[in-house]
Structure 1
Amino acid sequence: MQLAVYCLVYPLLWMISKLPWRIFYFFSTCIYVLVYYIIGYRRKTVTENLQLAFPEKDEKEINRIRKASYKHMCDMFLEMIRSLSISEKEIVKRFHITNLNALVALEDKNKSIITMMGHYNSYEWTNSIDLISKFRCVGIYKPIKNKYFDKLVHRIRGRFNSRLIPSAKVFREMTMDQRQENPELSLYGLISDQSPKLNNATFWIDFMGIEVPAFVGGEVLSRRLGLSIFYLHVEKVKRGYYEATLVPISEDPQNEDEYAITEKFTRLLEEQIRQKPENYLWTHKRWKHRDAAPSKNPIAS
């Protein structure tokens, strides 16, 4: 059954990835109409999340942000599919690194780094960094149950020599990487605004005015491995074009106060969300544990 579904869907995905850009984004708009108006995918969740994060905004503004966020989400999904066939020249043009000199300076140190990212703007095209630097992008991902689509994700996100590590193996594999005699120069990308399971929650933080458990994997890894850690600040210039800037969080994580790295990442992401909330992925249940914060746990505000 898994193979049958894959064989039916893959040719369609390939054809979509080859569409001229104007038709490609027209198709994305059609998907938006289907997802938002007809299917109503997670509309209740998105509305609740927006109302929680922006209690000061009226219904009209909430609706505007909600519609715009669905349009952006559909573009993101289609852009991932586009990665099946996008050329090296095209992806570098569309995902521009503003401070390339910072990458060059990091290359000279010959030491791998960690970048923390949120579900904000584009994170699907960050593997373009492989094409303009000596760093090999390493993405952390959650495997898909359908093994054929899981291989497809590897193919899409592993283009341009990028590498993927399953989330369940990230601590072991990154540790093994850095213990090698001559470790490969890697840029580890971590999506760090997920909601951890309650039994794994060690730190709670005020995020968009709401107390939630924080994902601290980036901080733990940077401390354990002694790797400099950055925030990837991505802005959407216009449809299909992004600018990314490496913002230093800590060059000496082992001497940072506990949870200081997680706190700084959260504030940087929060600042972007408040500026353009429509470019955040509001469909995931980031605030589902908001009422479960134990008073004995550390909480940052």
Structure 2
Amino acid sequence: MYSILKIAFYFIPNTLLYWFSDFLSFILYHVIKYRRKVVFQNLQNSFPEKSVHEINKISRKFYTNLTDTILETLLIPSLTKEQLKKQVIQKNIELPLEYLRKGQSILVLTGHQCNWEWLLLSSSMLSEYSVDAIYRPLKSKQSDCFFLKIRSKFGANLIPMKDTLRSIIKRKDITRGIAMVADQTPPGGEIQYWTKFLNQDTPFFVGADKIARNTSFPVFYLSMKRSKRGYYETTYELLSEPPFPEEKFSLVEKYSNALEKTIKESPSDWLWSHKRWKNTRLKDS
């Protein structure tokens, strides 16, 4: 599959790629109606101040951004470093590099905003320091194998979530960035922290907070915005560094606030089709 995509997308110009994205977006939204109720409900609950017209406008744009991301991901096998450097600009890469050059490993948190696959690839090739990306393996072995291959194309070291602690211990002498897309929904039985996020009670994984406190790694938030179609800019923000606040899971709270700010600036770029609020908070949790 990887080789087929590499050949097929090599000959497709960007203009044609995004024309097809427009068509695919139309099919998903108007014909298949892929998760339209989920998207609309998520948006309406997150932005109760917006009118139905505004919600529908954001929703429609979300589907175009989603199909752009899907096709851009399929483009990865044929994507070169030179192309990616032009299409993803990391504006203040010197901020995390200041720590890495001192031999200090860092923890970088991001979200499903814009094209998170290109974000990992871009981060992997901009310095000589290793990027360890924590991920949740897919149920389909074939799909999981494909995504492992594209995500590691420019050198990222992929680590299954269950092996995170083992990997941190094993690679403790390597100066690196540990990257996590930290806005996924924890399974019901693993929820340890709830917070108000986008106007709703929302559970978050707490692994990032635990990793930071156990390793004393500074914590960064990496945001991504769409400058124009097919082009992105990223910005690093230092969330916290040792000594960390004593308040339990305060780093998760800082991350959720930073992510919420990014989403509000460009709502259509977040992954609204995900059933983020499928769990209900109990009164005593």
> For the Cα contact (< 8 Å) 1:121–1:234, is it kept in 2?
yes
Note if 1:159 corresponds to 2:153: yes
**Secondary structure of the residue that 1:244 maps to in structure 2?**
strand
Residue 134 of structure 2, aligned match among 140, 143, 161: 140
The C-alpha deviation readout for 1:29-49, integer Å capped at 9, x for no partner, is 121112111111111110110
1:129 Cα deviation (Å)? Answer: 2.1
> For the Cα contact (< 8 Å) 2:5–2:78, is it kept in 1?
no
1:150 — aligned with what? 144
Note if 1:69 corresponds to 2:62: yes
2:125 — aligned with what? 131
Unpaired runs of 5+ in structure 1?
A: 1-5
2:199 — aligned with what? 209
CA spacing shift, 1:255–1:54, aligned 2, 3 Å:
closer
> For the Cα contact (< 8 Å) 1:137–1:189, is it kept in 2?
yes
CA spacing shift, 1:144–1:198, aligned 2, 3 Å:
closer
CA spacing shift, 1:74–1:52, aligned 2, 3 Å:
same
> For the Cα contact (< 8 Å) 1:103–1:133, is it kept in 2?
no
- Cα distance in 2 for residues equivalent to 1:12 and 1:191: 25
1:54 — aligned with what? 47
Residue 11 of structure 1, aligned match among 4, 10, 15: 4
Note if 1:283 corresponds to 2:273: yes
Question: 1:294 corresponds to which letter in structure 2?
Answer: L
- Cα distance in 2 for residues equivalent to 1:194 and 1:82: 24
> For the Cα contact (< 8 Å) 1:72–1:278, is it kept in 2?
yes
Question: 1:296 corresponds to which letter in structure 2?
Answer: D
1:234 Cα deviation (Å)? Answer: 1.1
- Cα distance in 1 for residues equivalent to 2:191 and 2:143: 30
Note if 1:83 corresponds to 2:71: no
CA spacing shift, 1:85–1:184, aligned 2, 3 Å:
farther
CA spacing shift, 1:143–1:63, aligned 2, 3 Å:
same
Note if 1:171 corresponds to 2:171: no
> For the Cα contact (< 8 Å) 2:96–2:106, is it kept in 1?
no
- Cα distance in 1 for residues equivalent to 2:255 and 2:26: 34
1:51 Cα deviation (Å)? Answer: 1.0
The C-alpha deviation readout for 1:61-112, integer Å capped at 9, x for no partner, is 1110000011111111111111111111111111111112213312221122
Residue 22 of structure 2, aligned match among 26, 29, 38: 29
2:224 — aligned with what? 234
- Cα distance in 2 for residues equivalent to 1:267 and 1:175: 30
**Secondary structure of the residue that 2:184 maps to in structure 1?**
coil
- Cα distance in 2 for residues equivalent to 1:26 and 1:256: 51
1:295 — aligned with what? 283
1:185 Cα deviation (Å)? Answer: 2.4
> For the Cα contact (< 8 Å) 1:198–1:213, is it kept in 2?
no
CA spacing shift, 1:13–1:62, aligned 2, 3 Å:
farther
57-66 vs 136-145, greater mean Cα deviation: 136-145
- Cα distance in 2 for residues equivalent to 1:223 and 1:235: 29
TM normalised by structure 2 equals 0.93
1:176 Cα deviation (Å)? Answer: 2.5
- Cα distance in 2 for residues equivalent to 1:253 and 1:192: 22
In the TM superposition, what are the counterparts of 1:172-211 in structure 2 within 5 Å? 172-178=166-172, 183-211=173-201
State the percentage of identical aligned residues: 31
**Secondary structure of the residue that 1:227 maps to in structure 2?**
coil
> For the Cα contact (< 8 Å) 2:6–2:78, is it kept in 1?
no
> For the Cα contact (< 8 Å) 1:129–1:135, is it kept in 2?
no
TM normalised by structure 1 equals 0.89
CA spacing shift, 1:264–1:245, aligned 2, 3 Å:
same
The C-alpha deviation readout for 1:7-45, integer Å capped at 9, x for no partner, is xx9735751354111111112112111211111111111
Question: 1:263 corresponds to which letter in structure 2?
Answer: E
In the TM superposition, what are the counterparts of 1:77-116 in structure 2 within 5 Å? 77-116=70-109
